[in-house]
Amino acid sequence: MNPPTIKDVAKAADVSVATVSRVLHNLAGYSDQTKQKVLKAVEELGYQPNAIARGLINKRTQTIGVLFPDVSSSFSSDLLHGIEDVANDRGFSVIVCNTAEDGKRTMKYLQVLREKQVDGIVFTSEFLKEEYYLALKEMRVPVVLVNTQSHKHMIPYVKVDDRQAAYQATEYLIQNGHREIAMISDTPVDRIAGIPRIEGYKQALADNGIEYNEARVAYGDFGLESGRKAIEKLLAEAPPFTALFAASDEMAIGAMGVALERGIRIPDDISIIGYDDLSISRMIYPPLTTIHQPLTAMGRLASEKLIALIEDSSEVSSTIVNHQLVERKTVRPRP
Amino acid sequence: MNPPTIKDVAKAADVSVATVSRVLHNLAGYSDQTKQKVLKAVEELGYQPNAIARGLINKRTQTIGVLFPDVSSSFSSDLLHGIEDVANDRGFSVIVCNTAEDGKRTMKYLQVLREKQVDGIVFTSEFLKEEYYLALKEMRVPVVLVNTQSHKHMIPYVKVDDRQAAYQATEYLIQNGHREIAMISDTPVDRIAGIPRIEGYKQALADNGIEYNEARVAYGDFGLESGRKAIEKLLAEAPPFTALFAASDEMAIGAMGVALERGIRIPDDISIIGYDDLSISRMIYPPLTTIHQPLTAMGRLASEKLIALIEDSSEVSSTIVNHQLVERKTVRPRP
DNA sequence: AGAAATAGAGTAAACGTTTACTTTTTAGTG
DNA sequence: CACTAAAAAGTAAACGTTTACTCTATTTCT
C-alpha cells in the first residue's frame, strides 16, 4: 500500500538494508550477484529513495531558496530562469519566495527556509537590511546576493557596475549631441540601484561640462506605470529636453508609451535609452536602445557560486559582470 | 555549536521532549508553569523546529511543485505569482521546475519531486503526456492542471474556454467591419491551446458567412520572435487582410513590431487583437486590444484547489475562468 | 475513606535513511 | 592445512521529530 522503502527492497532481495544502501550509492562491499538481486528488487518494487529521510541524516536537502521582490517581473523571472537552470543541473531544487519588498514577509520566508533546512540562499534586487542579515547569519548557510550588494557585510554578490553603466548610457546620449538630458531614476533612497545610477548620470554630465539640473530628474519605482507618471511630470514641469535616460526598461517603455500617445516621436523628438535589456525591449516598436544586463547569465553565475559555497564551503568572491550598451532605434543624433 | 534541537530545549527546561513538543503544538498535558519554562528555553536557545524531521514523521512536507514550460515567460511568471502567493499564505513552499518542454527534463523533475516528497503538483501550459500522467499517478499526490487539460484523465484544471475566447476575438474584428482576417496560431498539433483557438476563429468566420482561407493562417510557438516570422510570412504570401488575430500577446507584439517597421500603421492599416493580456500589453504603444486571461487569479485558484485536495483530499472540480475582451487601441472599424 | 477520574508528565517506538562497527565468509599464503 | 588478509554482508545507532502508551500524583465523587 505505502510506497516501498529501503527495508522492503532489502527483504525482497534477501539482504540487509545496509547492503541495499551500498549498492544504490555504488560503494564497495558486495558481490556482483548481490548487486543484481538488489537492482532487480528495486526495479520490481518501483523503489524511490526518500529524500526527506536522507536529508535528515546527512543534513543536506539539496534545496536552495531564492528571494525576489517581485517574482512576476520580467527582471526576476529572467534571473530565476538562470538560477533554476544550473541548480537543477547540479541536483538542487529551488524554492521561490516573493517578498513583495515587505520586511515582515521576508522575515517569515527566512524562517520557513530555515525550518526547511535549505542549503543556501540567493537574495536578489533588494537592499539587505540588517535584520535580514542577522537572520541569515543565524541560519549558517551560504548566501549570495544578486543585483544588490552589502557594503557593511562581506557577502559575495553578482551585479553590474551601475554607476559606470549609467555613466556610459548618459555619455552615449551626449556623444549623440544631446545636452538637455532628463533622467527617470528609482527613488533616491535606494542605495543599491538608485544612487549609483544617478551618480553615473551626474558624473557624465559633469565630465562633459553640462550643468546638472535637478528639475530634469523624476523618480519612479522601476515599474511601467511609474515610468508613465515620471515622464508626465517631466513633460509638464521640467525644462525642455531632447534625450532621456531611464533607469529601467520598464520605466523607459512606460515613458515611450505616453510620448507616443502625445505625438512625441521617438527618437525624432526625444531619444530614449533604457536599462536592463528585458527580452521585450528588443521586440517593441521602436526597439529600445538600452544597457544590457545579462540577467540569465547572472542567475546562472549566482547559482554556481552558491553551490560552490555549499559544496566546499571555500571562499567565493564577488563578480562584477559586464554590461553592454546595445544600440537599437530609440536614440538618434540631435538634429 | 550545532543548531539546538528539541532535546536541547528539553534539557534546558528540565522536562521531556514530549512535553516540549506538546507545548509547541498547543496540545494539552502540562501546567502553565511548565509551559513558561519551555517557552523560556526556546527563546534563550533560539530554537527552530526542523521541518525535515517533522516531514519524515508526519509524511507531509508542506511543499508543492510547479512545472512550467518556460519560467521566464511573462505568462508563467504571472501564474507563479498567484500560485506562490496563496501557497505561502497557507503554509506551503513552492519548488519551481522549468521543463523547457522537454520530456526527459520533465520526467527528471517528476522524479525529484517524488523523492522530495512534495505534497502536490501544479502542472501548467503543456499537454499532459501519458508518461507524465503515469509518473504522477505513481506519486499518489494531488495534481491540478493550469491552462491545460486532460481529456483522457479526470484531473481538475483551471483554464479559460479557448474556443469561445477565440470566437469572441474573431467576432469582435468582424463586428468592426473586417472580413479579411488573418490569424497567427500555435502549431496545429497543440491540442490544448492550438486547435481550440483555430476552431473558434473558424467558427466565428463561418457563423458570419465568411469563407475560411487556410492561406491566411500562419503558425508560431507563442513567442515574440515567432510572431515576427509569422506576420512576415503572411505579408508575403497570404491574400491581403485588414485584421489579425494572434493567439498570444507575445506573437501579437512581435507582429506589431514588424508591421510598424514596415510603415504599416496599427490600427489604421491593420487591426490586431491578441490573447493573454500580459501586463506589458497595456503599456506598449499602441496599447494592445486583447483577450484578458486572469493569470494571477488563475494561479491563486489552482493553489487553492491543490491545497484543498492535499488537506481533505475531498473531490475538487475544474473551473473554466472567465476571459474578457479588453478594448484598447489596436483595433478600429474598417474604413 | 476509598475508588475512580483526571491532570501532568515521561518513555520509547516510529518515520526512512546512512554509516561506523562487527561478524562471517572467502581467498591467499607458506 | 593452519593462519591471515580481504571481501561480503549484517547490526544497530543516529538524524530530530511526533505520538501512543504508561505512570504518578492529585482531584472528584459517593
For residue B329, being part of any structural domain is answered with no
From B95, B253, B287, residue closest to A94, measured CB to CB: B95
Domain that includes residue A268, residue range: 162-293
- Do the domain assignments include residue A315? yes
> pLDDT tens digits for B109-157?
999 999 999 999 999 999 999 999 999 999 999 999 999 999 999 999 9
In a domain, B251, yes or no: yes
Q: Which three cell numbers stand for residue A236?
A: 509638464
Rounded distance, CA B267 to CA B325, Å? 17
| Contacting A residues, span 227-286, partner chain B, CB-CB under 8 Å | 228, 250, 253-254, 256-257, 260-261, 279-280, 282-286
Number of domains in chain A: 3
Same domain, A92 and A203: no
**Would residue B56 count as lying in a domain?**
no
In a domain, A334, yes or no: no
Residues B192 and B87 in one domain: no
Note whether A98 and A207 are same-domain residues: no
Residues B147 and B170 both lie in one domain? no
Collect all residues with Cβ–Cβ distance below 8 Å to A331 and sequence separation of at least 6: A172, A173, A176, A243, A267, A271, A272, A273, A289
pLDDT at B190: 72
Residue B69 sits in the same domain as residue B115: yes
Give pLDDT, residue B319. Answer: 94
At residue A42, the pLDDT reads 94
User: Both B168 and B71 in a single domain?
Assistant: no
B38 lies in the same domain as B26: yes
Same domain, A166 and A288: yes
How many Å from the CA of A27 to C1' of D12? 20
Please tell me the predicted confidence (pLDDT) of residue A104.
95
Quote the pLDDT of residue B303. 97
Write the DSSP symbol of residue A277: -
CATH number at A35 reads 1.10.260.40
Q: Residue A240 belongs to a domain with what CATH number? A: 3.40.50.2300
B284 and B198 share one domain: yes
> Positive or negative, the Cα torsion across A14, A16, A17, A23?
negative
Higher model confidence: residue A333 or residue B290?
B290
Q: Which bases in strand D are touched by protein, i.e. have an atom under 7 Å from a CB?
A: 7-12, 14-20
CA neighbor of B250 nearest in space, from B216, B212, B288: B288
The beta-carbon neighbor of A256 closest among B76, B111, B285 is B285
* Residue at B206 is within a domain: yes
pLDDT digits (tens, 9 = 90+) for B176-205: 999 999 999 988 777 777 888 999 999 999
Residue B335 lies in a domain: no
pLDDT at A92: 97
Predicted local distance difference test score (pLDDT) of residue A284: 85
Residue B274: the pLDDT is: 96
Mean pLDDT of B87-106: 96
pLDDT reported for residue A188: 74
In which element (H, E) is residue A220 found? strand A217-220
Which residues of chain A fall below pLDDT 70? 313
Q: Is pLDDT larger for residue B1 or for residue A26?
A: A26
**Same domain membership, residue A300 and residue A287:** no
Q: Domain check: are A72 and A166 in the same one? A: no
pLDDT range class, residue B43, cuts 50, 70, 90: very high
B contact residues 7-36, partner A, Cβ 8 Å cutoff: none
In the structure, what pLDDT confidence band is assigned to residue B232 with cuts at 50, 70 and 90? very high
CB contact B96 to A (< 8 Å): yes
Q: Residue A330 domain-assigned? A: no
In terms of domains, do B223 and B271 share one?
A: yes
